Amino acid sequence: MPASSPSSRLPSIGRRTVLGAAAATAPAVLGLAGSASAAPTAPTARQKKPRKLRAGGDLGPNVIVFDPSTPGIQTKLDEIFKQQETAQFGQGRYALLFKPGTYNGLNAQLGFYTSIMGLGLSPDDTTINGDVTVDAGWFQGNATQNFWRSAENLALVPVNGTNRWAVAQAAPFRRMHVRGGLNLAPDGYGWASGGYIADSRIDGQVGPYSQQQWYTRDSTVGGWTNAVWNMVFSGVEGAPATGFPNPPYTTLDTTPVSREKPFLYLDGADYKVFLPEKRTNARGVTWGSGTPRGTSVPLTQFYVARPGDSADTLNQALGQGLHLLLTPGIYHVDKPLQVDRANTVVLGLGYATIVPDNGATALKVADVDGVRLAGFLIDAGTVNSATLLEVGPEGASADHSANPTTVQDVFVRVGGAGAGKATTCIVVNSRNTIIDHTWIWRADHGEGVGWDVNRCDYGLVVNGADVLATGLFVEHFNKYDVQWFGERGRTIFFQNEKAYDAPDQAAIQNGSTKGYAAYRVGDGVTTHEAWGMGSYCYYNVNPGIVQHHGFAAPNTPGVRFHGLSVVSLSGNGQYECVINDTGSPTSGTNTVPSTVVSYP
């Protein structure tokens, strides 16, 4: 996450001990009546069958369901926030669900691994006369580490007219209606480094202020006030016109292809999951004028997983034709979760986290239509995994243009919560995949961090053709952060930092090239296009390191870039060029971007 000066990097935050049920190392398994028992050593017959859950039913101990008559809502919100405010690498996971209705006088402050969601079909079904707040008091006003939290499917009427959402990476603001303004910076306008908005309507003005970059997709805004380095819009009504690099706005009138994230909702007394339909040349929100377009799946078709469920149990559920709902907690798997059936949904609540043990891949998807992966975190294990997530097997070639696989709010982490290793985080082999908001992060702080301690050479590798990435955040990998070998790939918004901790120039030497590009398009690719791309360096272990360029691509008319920037953060390392051998070097210690408007 970028910081505008070395002073914004405060001491690392180690693992926190989080009190309460959420912190249990081996979470209890709760029955439908809500009574706790020890996690079984083998799945019971009840666990192997789909669970039918009704309103007020049990989605696990860390899914808290409110209705307007629930007593003590603010007290419960404050209790969870107190546990999670500073628990950057703790084990607590929470989903706060609000049934349709009106809630008055609330301020839901969100800490780490906390998601707040309405349970209506439209955001306007669930109105909070109050705020959903993210601020940075825990970190002395610096919001650059406000990760892993989310808001979804709510209408807000902010108390003072403007809601504060001061976040960094992995903190989506989806399907929200703010009947007022939205402030994306911390109180006092300290450092901020985000972020992502989709399918949302902000009636008033959005003020990013100190936010260094931001991506907004398929939304409506009442205005946008300023920009720092890289602000990107696609399909946004009310967005400012392209002005890159001054102001640094990159604006596309529509999003080429999009399909919104699945979400849990209440249909009368029954829980269902809504699956929004695919849109082409999308613009504006999907809701607000009648029933949204898509399909509903009853929860009786989901296996409602609990921490402690084994990979065998989860794979058995998938093999029986069930979808997966991962309730909040940490799931250790000793083999990949294998998604082989078309149209399967794997949906996480409250930052459910999958940790592969013994070098396994966490999850693999077959070369099938319409899989939806959404709302969970993958944490690398202590034994090196060749990959952490594979979308399609090697050589996948089926055409999925009519019904693509989507990867949405799926975040991958190597180190930080403890030692972890992988060779490549995400490999996309399936054609037409949509990657809609991911943060792929080799940790630069926390536990288990060091050049060879949390080693991971590559963040994202795309081999499939016709893949689209909307909102791509990839940081700190030992070699290439992104490598793209598939034809006709497109990326709308990219944010990157090179690895901070390279010990010397030799450690990043790439043949005759100084350093590995943040985003590389393979030499054999003939067609590729990208918009709004930023790479930053902060070589704080050895500030004398030189990075030749942020971007590398074949010099051919079919490979095109728009709105490129590289930044040396306070002079900790330097870029010689922006893309290939084009673009001016970054200058001294001034933290001023070097830009290229279009290439070639």
Catalytic residue among 260, 497, 529, 576: 497
Question: Tokens 């903190």 correspond to what residue?
Answer: 171
Amino acid at site 385: S
Per the CB < 8 A criterion, the answer to whether 109 and 149 are in contact is no
List C-alpha distances in Å: 91 to 82, 305, 353, 560.
14, 17, 9, 43
Residue 497 falls in the annotated catalytic set: yes
Amino acid at site 343: N
Between β-strands 230-234 and 249-252, what pairing exists: parallel, antiparallel or unpaired? parallel
Q: Which of 169, 93, 257, 85 minimizes the C-alpha distance to 496?
A: 169
Per the CB < 8 A criterion, the answer to whether 596 and 579 are in contact is yes
Helix (H) or strand (E) holding 63: strand 63-66
The set of residues, in sequence order, having a beta carbon less than 8 Å from that of 158 and lying 6+ positions away, is 130, 131, 178, 179, 180, 181
Q: Which of 452, 313, 434, 423 minimizes the C-alpha distance to 361?
A: 423
User: Six-digit token pair at 365?
Assistant: 């998807």
SS3 for 8? helix
CA 596 to chain centre: 27
Per the CB < 8 A criterion, the answer to whether 557 and 23 are in contact is no
Alpha-carbon gap, residue 285 to 263, rounded angstroms: 15
What is the C-alpha radius of gyration for the chain, rounded to an integer number of angstroms?
22
* Beta bridge mates, 274: 263, 296
* Residues in the chain, total: 600
* Beta bridge mates, 211: 192
Outline where DSSP puts E strands in 368-433. 372-379, 385-391, 406-414, 422-428
Alpha-carbon gap, residue 233 to 215, rounded angstroms: 6
User: Six-digit token pair at 238?
Assistant: 């009310």
Q: Which of 143, 161, 127 minimizes the C-alpha distance to 208?
A: 143
The set of residues, in sequence order, having a beta carbon less than 8 Å from that of 402 and lying 6+ positions away, is 369
Q: Which of 544, 536, 542 minimizes the C-alpha distance to 519?
A: 536
| CA pseudo-torsion sign 494, 519, 370, 380 | negative
Active site residues: 497
